[in-house]
Structure formats: C-alpha cells, structure tokens
Amino acid sequence: MAEPKILIVYASRTGNTEKLAQAIAEGARSAGGVSVELKRARDTKPSDAGADAFAFGSHSAFEYMAGELKSLFEDFYTIRDKLTGKPVLLFTTGQGGQSSALASIDRVVGVFNPSWVKPGVAVQGAPKDADKAKAREMGKKLAEAAKKKVK
C-alpha cells in the first residue's frame, strides 16, 4: 500500500499562516509513513482532491477565510464526494478574528462531510513556540488519522 498523502493548503499574505502550515507539516511528517505536500490555495486544483487527508488554513480577511481558499472550495464543490470521509484539520491566524475565520472554513468544508480532526488551530498574529507545538501535535494527529483510514 502506498503511503497516504497529506495535502496542506493555505492562504497567507505576510507569512503567519504559512508558518502554521509548516508546523502542521512538520508534525505530520514526524508520524512517519506519510507523504506531505504544502500548497498555496491559489496553486491548488480540483485534481489535488485525490489526496488522502487535508489541512486547510487561512488568514482572517474581514472575519472570513481568504478569497483564494473560498474560490478553491467552489471548485471542489462539484467533486465534493472526493473529500467525503477523509480526515481534515483546519487552521487560521488573525488579529482577533482567527476564530471567526476558522468557523467560516468549518461551515464550508462541513458541506463535504469530512472526517474532522479537531480542534482546529486558531492563532493570534505570528505563531509563537506554543502555537507551533500545538500545530505540530495536530499535524501528527492528522497523519495518524490518514494512516488509519488508508490501512
């Protein structure tokens, strides 16, 4: 059996959310036996929906996810069955609006009926060491869930 593939998709303008994505990737890789890819939302295509597990993240933009991530989800809508039942973790950063951005992604991705890996990671500003540790922990959980699913 091939290693389960984990795709981490993110939107980030000034690097905060990208750092969180990298910490999630580190945690997922630490589980071993998975392949992990990081992609910006604007570079992600419907054909990427074949991955075995996902993390989706964004900065808060007007208390919502970034437009490029919303646009990707609109593209995913017609092939939404490809995400059904797959492990999904969410993450956001913001200057106070990180939880509402997380809730906006939760609402949309919920339409695809994933297998949630919760809690999502919502961080204020640039991730500090404790935030990165939490992100690594959740990334590892995502990888474990992916391995269980594919076994």
Ligand X SMILES: Cc1cc2nc3c(=O)[nH]c(=O)nc-3n(C[C@H](O)[C@H](O)[C@H](O)COP(=O)(O)O)c2cc1C
Positions that interact with ligand X (CB under 6 A): 12-18, 59-63, 93-97, 125
CB of 59 to ligand X, least distance (A): 3
CB of 147 to ligand X, least distance (A): 29
CB of 128 to ligand X, least distance (A): 12
53 vs 92, which CB is nearer to ligand X?
A: 92
12 vs 22, which CB is nearer to ligand X?
A: 12
Strand duo 87-94 + 115-116: pairing: parallel
- Chain centroid to Cα 78, Å, comes to 20
CB of 120 to ligand X, least distance (A): 15
4 vs 97, which CB is nearer to ligand X?
A: 97
How much is the CA Rg of the chain, to the nearest whole Å?
14
- d(CA 55, CA 126) in angstroms, rounded, equals 18
97 vs 114, which CB is nearer to ligand X?
A: 97
Maximum pairwise Cα distance, the chain: 43
Answer yes or no: are the C-beta atoms of 69 and 41 closer than 8 Å: yes
Q: Would you give the DSSP letter of residue 61? A: B
54 vs 92, which CB is nearer to ligand X?
A: 92
CB of 94 to ligand X, least distance (A): 3
Answer yes or no: are the C-beta atoms of 83 and 114 closer than 8 Å: yes
- d(CA 120, CA 135) in angstroms, rounded, equals 9
Report which residue's Cβ sits closest to ligand X: 97
